[in-house]
Amino acid sequence: MKDKVKYLGLVVCLPTALASFGCAGTRTHESNGEYIDNSAVTAKVKAALVDDPSVSAMQVKVKTFKGVVQLSGFVDTPQQKQRAEEIARGIDGVREVQNNISVKSEVSQTR
């Protein structure tokens, strides 16, 4: 019976252990550690946007990949777009910010 329990433990634990060793990052994929770090950066940027009264955090989407934060969505003014970028740049762990936020008035003028 003890041998069966040991075998079951090995069957359950071995795939988990192997998965954690085989997850190195590449140019297009994050390692486990990078994923966790990027998730933390995204959460910090979102929290900072929520705390800032001049930017509507609900209108700004935040994604992070390898320390590069991408902002997208729609805001009402160019100042809000700029402020969102400033906030993201001020977060520890952010290497670069790609500000792809659109200003609603600029979008409606192009139509």
Q: Which domains does the chain have, with CATH numbers?
A: 30-109 (3.30.1340.30)
Among 94, 97, 108, 100, which residue's Cα sits nearest to residue 60? Answer: 100
Q: What is the pLDDT of residue 108?
A: 66
> Is the pLDDT assigned to residue 49 strictly greater than 90?
yes
Side-chain-side CA neighbours of 23 within 13 Å: the count stands at 14
Q: What is the pLDDT of residue 27?
A: 66
17: helix, strand or coil: helix
> Is the pLDDT assigned to residue 18 strictly greater than 50?
no
Mean pLDDT of 9-34: 58
80-98: pLDDT as tens digits: 999 999 999 999 999 999 9
Q: Please give the mean pLDDT across all residues of the chain.
A: 82
Measured CA to CA in angstroms, residue 44 lies from 38, 47, 107 at distances of 10, 5, 28
> Is the pLDDT assigned to residue 79 strictly greater than 90?
yes
d(CA 94, CA 21): 26
Entry pTM: 0.72
Do 91 and 45 contact (CB within 8 A), yes or no?
Answer: yes
